[in-house]
Amino acid sequence: MTGTQIAFTLNGRPLTLPPGTSPTVTLLDWLRGPAALTGTKEGCAEGDCGACTVVLEQPDGARLPVNACLTLLGQLHGRAVRTVEGLRGGDGAAHPIQVAMAESDGTQCGFCTPGIVMSAWAHGRQGGDLHEALAGNLCRCTGYRPIVEVFGALADDSAAPPALAAPGPARFEAPGQVFHLPASLPGLLALRAAHPGAWLLAGGTDLNLRISDHREQPAEVICLLNVPELHALEATAAGLRIGAATPYARLLDAVRAEMRLSALSGLLARLGSRQIRGLGTLGGNLGTASPIGDALPPLVALGAVVTVASARGMREVPVERFLTGYRSNDLAADEVVVSVLLPWPPAGAHLGFEKISKRHDQDIATVGAAMLVRVEGGVTVEARLAFGGVAATVVRASGAEAALLGRPFDAAAVAAAAEALAGDIAPLSDWRGSAAYRLAVAQGLLHRLHLRATRPDLPAEVAEIEEVA
Amino acid sequence: MDGGQNLPRVPAEPGLPRKGAGAALRHDSALKHCTGEARYADDLAEAPGTLHAVLVHSPLPHGRLRGIDAAAALAMPGVVAVLSARDIPGENDVAPAGKGEPLFAESLVEFAGQPVAMVLAATRDQALRAAAAVQPRIEPLEPVLTIEQALAREQYVVAPQHIRRGDAAAAIAAAPRSLSGELRAGGQEHFYLEGQIALATPGEDGEMAVVSSTQHPSEGQHIVARVLGLPYSRVTVTCRRMGGGFGGKESNASWIAAAAALGARVSGKPVKLRLTRRADMIATGKRHPFLYRWTAGFDDTGRILALDALLAADGGWSTDMSGGVVFRAITHALNCCDVPAVALTCLAAKTNTVSHTAFRGFGGPQGALLMEDVVHRVAAALRLPPEQVRARNFMGAEGNGSELPYGQAVEGDLIARVWAETRRDADWDRRRASIDAFNAQHPTLRRGLGSMVLCFGISFGAMHLNQAGALVHVYSDGSIRLNHGGTEMGQGLFVKVAQVVADAFGVGMERIRVTATNTAEVPNTAPTAASTGSDLNGWAAHNAATAIRGRMAEVAAKRWSIAPEAVVFADDRAWAERVGANRFLEFGELARLCFMERVSLSATGFYRTPDIHWDREKMRGRPFFYFSYGAAVSEVVVDTLTGEHRCLRTDIVQDCGRSLNPAVDRGQIEGAFVQGQGWLTCEELWWDAGGRLRTVGPSTYKIPGSRDVPPAFNVRLLDGAPARSETIFRSKAVGEPPLLLATAVWNALKDAIGVDSLDLPATPERVLMALRHKG
């Protein structure tokens, strides 16, 4: 049966929204407006400050912090959300995390605090690096020290995950709007063929800015979140098959568990924030084809292949051909990205997946780089160098690659490649960096690759320096 | 205070009082912040019929406003009105000091982002969409976008101010060596997490009640009254708390309040004006960027004998509070150093940029950068450690003077002490050696060590602002209601002032209710700014509380037939002659007795800072009640391939006098340091060639995140140093001074890459380019 009303669980209680509720209202606006739950704050409405952080409670017990400003009501159908108001115990007592944050001077103005508390609640269960857990939450008052201390001493609570049934296909209508939630690939492809102008919405961390920030009201949306075929995450003989709607959070977990891709985990851990990775998808980055998408240079350097489908059939496209220009790609109006095959890097290759930005965490790349250099018999036999942020789309540095091939991978070769790189890329100047800086950094990253290859005993970047005594 | 939330932390830090002044109590709203129950202006329930206002901004930095096409917007659903300058019943002027700063542009637009109109609609979405449809017709004029351009045209919002001592030019000529330098420092967006907001509700007879996120309710009241043409008595401004202020919610909050009030006046409905982050960033002022040009004369020991310097601020299109920023920059340009002969000139240039405004430090941090640049370049020229050159020039050091060139003396012993203690805490010599060893062996990474010593004057530069009022009621059940002119923006002012009152009455904090700042309760107040919040309001509240306490003592004394002076207030009781005596009254019992005896239990308190004066003509005087001192040492690591850098460790010793609340003060020090670190490293405001700000949200404007905080961050309050001036309980202000300590990070970066100067912010790009430039 096709659902016609948005239904989700809020703070442990099932809820069905009235017919006609706009499915493209952001969760943040809905919480602060009709739901009168004002604990969740708006700091930026662009997914960068974290003041609106709420948690999606997964049936497997996982807790995904997400930005309520970038989450639409329609995307929540069949899911469970917890807000800061939902942390109190049954007896009305504040949650131990709330008490700890208060007792530790973790608040000053308090405006960022509800979002930080929600990130902490998720982190208590998810674990991992605490700065990674905090990357999506900005605090302007405290200097973070007390907050970091609270995050460092978190314990999980025993709150049980919600029991959620997989929702069937749904279609929500509101005045002037239709929001489709297909539940199968054939269903999706049929909808896409019928509505080629509709927004194709996965996590929405880019697309939903048009609503949160620019207040657009899309007439037609096809949401990919409930199509199981798009959620693949499978190690095959050829490589890792990544469903287009697999959130980066899951991809990062998989990459961390896969030795062959471990070099990629550092970069993926800096893609957005936990809030962004909870929703954002590789399919989305390919769909928007932005040259500064963090994940695209690795796809190009590793020679990923994109599988696209339509009601007419499926086809496979090498990612370099898929990305055709500035925010443009080789996707027909009736097609969707189904998955990406990320080939395993050749054994023994030198790999560098780098991102240079003004701030280490949760920033957009000034320059992104993915570099693969394979040396056999003392000479470089394969070089694949992909750069983002230096041209209209992610580019291969063919001149630099040629400068490396067929000779030893030594300082002289790297210097020659760096020189050739100037002819490969055509960066622009903007607020993230000047053209001259972008070139200098791209060249510097070639040297860093060489440093990593030749001096694995040394820290290769500032983030690797241990705390000083 | 709030429902018993404010019990002393357990375990209490050893040696600290557990209640009253000096106790490390947590923020009064801490738990409510964490549960989401603390209410900010946008969280209050909206009255039925509330309209939403959205501003329309000029897309151009300079031009003649020929008209505003609003027909399309007016035809959109929900739109009630499009207001502009001609709808203003009073004066179209929101200048906080002086005249000539229109709320809505009239004939001239002077910066990209300037409000030209405002849409009122039934919902915020409707208002946002309609505002995008309003078309201002602007005939472009050539903009002035840089300080250099403005200097060439001698175009100022604050004309050059001078402080001179001796004959600097002659002393430079006579000095064994001389050196010139130029430096640029960028501005800074406040990035309070809660954006600007005001909610105005019209009342009877023209009354207007405004809930405003403001550091200066009285100014909000005055500007609303000016724009609406009302006497101040008809306007009430209230603020319970802000989601951060940092100076950005002084004059900027006032015009936001006035715009909301104008909407309410015209429509007759409550009007909420809440800026989007983008609007907030393009239309509200920031920290002043500065350009410095200087020449110094010095000797081979590093003693700086003379300094001739220009400090040119970018004031933006209007004066706003630039006069105060110029004052503070020029009075802090020597920071902690003595220079016998000086010729300092400071001005604020007029550019077609948003009007720069107050930001934590208010020109002080920018002033202090000058001396640090001088010290570091002089040290490089002499191949001496910059720390040695700075210490050679410390005020009060042997052979040096301790009077600033405008005539006020500082405490040289405290300068020497904070530096010596910080250097010791930081284990300077050992780490210097280990850093040099690291640098000798690593192919691409370079570590560096830097320091900062600060000397910051406390008091408003505008002498009349150094006053405060408070209103205290004791009710007949013994509960206490406290109100004062200071506002709470997260800095812990409310808890500190409550601690003062609790101390005065000898009662527990749970008895005291601090209430929202409100122009109807305490009138004619100063902004909560210049770090003076607890100094001023603490004394005012203390004066109110002790007035009531005196009356209560008389009632108790009469009952016990003792002298009123012999009544002691402690442990929530009034005691006859000593604590623990067998004659006592519970505080509530005594309050009830006072009521029965018809004795007033309400009092106002007032305070004016004594012994300060400033001659604006001569640029001389004693403008500061006292100085605050502090020092920091920071270590950084830089990647010479990319310019990326990290601060690895920071040690701080900060003078807070006898701290009113060490927990709150530590939070202020840490927060200020990290905010200063952001200003000097990652926070970059970027205007395009057309004068439009392009860093308009957190995705493009990067404030520090948790990983940017030094992983080793050792902060200590200077021990055993009660204020020598008669401050409240001998405490000292702490809001702004520690922001200057982040200068240590800049100095460490220069050390790491081996350059003697580095323009700011020291982004990875500037660091890498400085390295390249050095060759």
Of B34, B664, B711, the CB nearest to A101: B34
For residue B345, list its beta bridge partners: B162, B310
Which tokens is A185 given?
A: 């690939």
The DSSP letter of residue B483 is: E
Exposure letters B398-423 (e unless 16+ CB within 10 A, then b): eebbbebbbbbebbbebbbbbbebbb
Flag whether pLDDT at A93 surpasses 60. yes
Q: Is B155 helix (H, G, I), strand (E, B) or coil?
A: coil
Residue A261 C-alpha, separation from nearest chain B C-alpha, in angstroms = 24
Of A44, A94, A143, the CB nearest to B674: A143
Of B31, B42, B709, the CB nearest to A102: B31
Asked whether A351 and A371 are in contact (CB, 8 A), the reply is yes
Q: What is the mean pLDDT of chain A?
A: 95
**What is the interface pTM, i.e. ipTM, of the complex?**
0.97
pLDDT, residue A3, reads 84
Neighbours of A166 (CB within 10 A): 9
Asked whether B219 and B324 are in contact (CB, 8 A), the reply is no
pLDDT, residue B8, reads 42
* Residue range A199-225: mean pLDDT, rounded: 94
Neighbours of B719 (CB within 10 A): 9
Of B9, B442, B700, the CB nearest to A103: B9
pLDDT, residue A469, reads 65
CATH class, A1-178+190-225 region: alpha beta
CATH class, A349-469 region: alpha beta
Cis peptide before B59 (omega within 30 of 0): no
Q: Is B141 helix (H, G, I), strand (E, B) or coil?
A: coil
From-to residues of CATH 3.30.465.10 in chain A: 227-345
Q: Is B636 helix (H, G, I), strand (E, B) or coil?
A: strand
Which residues are within 8 A (CB) of A316 and not within 5 positions of it... i.e. 6 or more apart?
Answer: A305, A306, A307, A308
> Taking CB atoms and an 8 Å cutoff, what residues of chain B touch A113?
33-34
Spot the catalytic one: B110, B189, B387, B736. B736
Flag whether pLDDT at A144 surpasses 90. yes
**B43/A38 Cβ within 8 A:** yes
CATH fold label, A227-345:
3.30.465
pLDDT, residue B16, reads 57
Q: Nearest-CA neighbor of B708 among B745, B736, B741, B738? A: B745
pLDDT, residue A243, reads 98
> Taking CB atoms and an 8 Å cutoff, what residues of chain A touch B244?
108-109, 111, 140-141
- Distance separating alpha carbons of residues A211 and B356, to the nearest angstrom: 31
pLDDT, residue B15, reads 56
> Taking CB atoms and an 8 Å cutoff, what residues of chain B touch A455?
443
Asked whether B463 and B614 are in contact (CB, 8 A), the reply is yes
Which residues between 132 and 191 in chain A have a beta carbon less than 8 angstroms from any beta carbon of chain B? 134-135, 137-148
List the single residue in A with minimal CA-CA distance to B651. Answer: A469
Name the stretches of chain B with pLDDT < 50. 1-12
> Taking CB atoms and an 8 Å cutoff, what residues of chain A touch B5?
102
From-to residues of CATH 3.30.390.50 in chain A: 349-469
Which tokens is B427 given?
A: 């284990």
Which residues are within 8 A (CB) of A396 and not within 5 positions of it... i.e. 6 or more apart?
Answer: A300, A320, A384, A385, A386, A424
Residue B596 C-alpha, separation from nearest chain A C-alpha, in angstroms = 40
- Distance separating alpha carbons of residues A223 and A181, to the nearest angstrom: 5
B521 flagged as catalytic: no
Residue B13 C-alpha, separation from nearest chain A C-alpha, in angstroms = 13
From-to residues of CATH 3.10.20.30 in chain A: 1-178+190-225
Residue type, A296: L
pLDDT, residue B18, reads 67
- Distance separating alpha carbons of residues B330 and B165, to the nearest angstrom: 13
Q: Nearest-CA neighbor of B390 among B302, B329, B294, B295? A: B302
pLDDT, residue B6, reads 44
Say yes or no: A42 contacts chain B, CB-CB below 8 A. yes
How many CB contacts within 8 angstroms connect chain A with chain B? 287
**B706/A465 Cβ within 8 A:** no
Neighbours of B139 (CB within 10 A): 10
pLDDT, residue B3, reads 38
Say what angle helices B217-228 and B251-267 make with each other, to 10 degrees: 40
- Distance separating alpha carbons of residues A423 and A443, to the nearest angstrom: 12
Flag whether pLDDT at A265 surpasses 90. yes
Which residues are within 8 A (CB) of B13 and not within 5 positions of it... i.e. 6 or more apart?
Answer: B24, B662
Q: Nearest-CA neighbor of B490 among B27, B19, B165? A: B27
B208-212 and B197-202: which strand pairing? Answer: antiparallel
Say yes or no: A294 contacts chain B, CB-CB below 8 A. no
Which residues between 51 and 70 in chain A have a beta carbon less than 8 angstroms from any beta carbon of chain B? 51
List the single residue in A with minimal CA-CA distance to B645. Answer: A462
**B646/A462 Cβ within 8 A:** yes
Which residues are within 8 A (CB) of B694 and not within 5 positions of it... i.e. 6 or more apart?
Answer: A430, A431, B686, B687, B688, B700
- pTM for the predicted model, two decimal places: 0.97
- Distance separating alpha carbons of residues A179 and B159, to the nearest angstrom: 60
Planar angle of CA B64, B68, B74, nearest 5 degrees = 170
The distance of Cα A51 from the centroid of its chain, to the nearest Å, equals 18
For residue A57, list its beta bridge partners: A63
> Taking CB atoms and an 8 Å cutoff, what residues of chain B touch A445?
641-642
- The confidence band for A292, taking pLDDT boundaries of 50, 70 and 90, is confident
- The confidence band for A164, taking pLDDT boundaries of 50, 70 and 90, is confident
Neighbours of B46 (CB within 10 A): 13
Which residues between 427 and 466 in chain A have a beta carbon less than 8 angstroms from any beta carbon of chain B? 430-434, 436-437, 440-441, 444-445, 447-448, 451, 455, 458-463, 465
**A444/B642 Cβ within 8 A:** yes
pLDDT, residue B2, reads 44
**A109/B702 Cβ within 8 A:** no
Flag whether pLDDT at A466 surpasses 70. yes
Asked whether B108 and B114 are in contact (CB, 8 A), the reply is no
